[in-house]
Amino acid sequence: MTPLRIAGAQIPVSSDIETNVAEISQAIDFASQAKADILLTPEGSLSGYTHLFDAQQAADALRRVTARAAAAHVGLALGTCFIEPDDLKCYNQVRFYAPDGTFLGFHNKTLTTGSMTQPPVGEINHYAVRPLRTFEFQGLRVGGLICNDLWANPMCTPMPDPHLTQQLSEMEARVIFHAVNGGRDASEWAEINWHFHESSLRMRAAAGKLWIVTVDNCAPLDLRCSAPSGVVAPDGRWVCRAAPVGRDYFVAAIDC
C-alpha cells in the first residue's frame, strides 16, 4: 500500500466561525502544498468548542471549507460541533471527507466531560452520542476520537473508561485521528495534565498497535497547549511533533 501522507494543523480555535474558517483554509493550503492525503484539525475548530453556535452559519462555513479541500484534493478529519439535520441533535464531531469531497461520516465525542456531582454538570448534558464506528479512507480502516475519548482523564468525567482506542483497534482501525481542545493555564496541574496526555497517547498507541495522529487547539498563543500534537507510531514512538506553543503544522508519511 502507498504510504498515507497525513497533515495536522495545531491552530487557534475561537468562538468566531469566520475566523476559524480562515485558519482552516490556511491549513488546507499547507496540506495541499505538502501533498497530504488528509488533514486533521482540532476539536471544535470550525464551530468553536461550544454547543451554543449559529447552526446555519456553521453549515454554510462547512460547505465552503469542504469545497476548498475538495478543490485542493485534500481529505479532511475536521473537528467541529454540528447539528445533524436528520435528528436535530448537536454532536461534537470529527467529520471525515475523502479527497474528492465525499462525506464518509462522523465520529462523535463519546466520553464527554462533566463534574463529579449528581447530576453531573458540563458538556455531558449538551452533546448527543452515536455508536463508535470506523471509516474507509483510501483503502485504509481509520477511526476518530475527540480529546477525553482517548485519555479518559479521571478528573474530567464521571463515566468509566471505555478504552475506545482498544475498541477501534479491535474494529481493525489502523489510524486514529484525535482532535483535541483541552483547557490550559500556567498552573502545576497544566504540567501534570500535559504528561498524562502524552503518556496516554504513547501507551494507547502501543497497546492497540495503531497510529495516532493528534492536534490540539493552540489558543491562547502564549501558553503551552494542553497536549502535544503530532504522530505516534504503533510502537509508541513520536514520528513527528509540533511545537508545544503556538500555531504549527506538520506532515508525515505513514506506512500501514
Q: Grid coordinates standing for 85?
A: 439535520
Position 1 scores a pLDDT of 63
pTM score:
0.98
CATH number at residue 124: 3.60.110.10
Nearest to 202 by CA among 172, 241, 170: 241
DSSP letter for 209, please: T
Distances (CA, A) of 229 to 33, 69, 239: 20, 21, 11
> Predicted confidence band at 256 (pLDDT cuts at 50, 70, 90)?
confident
Query: For residue range 129-188, what is the model confidence (pLDDT) as tens digits?
Result: 999 999 999 999 999 999 999 999 999 999 999 999 999 999 999 999 999 999 999 899
| Total domain count, the chain | 1
Position 198 scores a pLDDT of 98
Q: Grid coordinates standing for 227?
A: 497536549
Query: For residue range 34-85, what is the model confidence (pLDDT) as tens digits?
Result: 999 999 999 999 999 999 999 999 999 999 999 999 999 999 999 999 999 9
Q: In which domain, by residue range, is 107 found? A: 4-254
Position 62 scores a pLDDT of 98
In angstroms, the CA 237 to CA 172 distance is: 20
Q: Percentage of the chain with pLDDT > 90?
A: 96
In angstroms, the CA 169 to CA 54 distance is: 36
Query: For residue range 88-129, what is the model confidence (pLDDT) as tens digits?
Result: 999 999 999 999 999 999 999 999 999 999 999 999 999 999
In angstroms, the CA 105 to CA 177 distance is: 13
Position 114 scores a pLDDT of 93
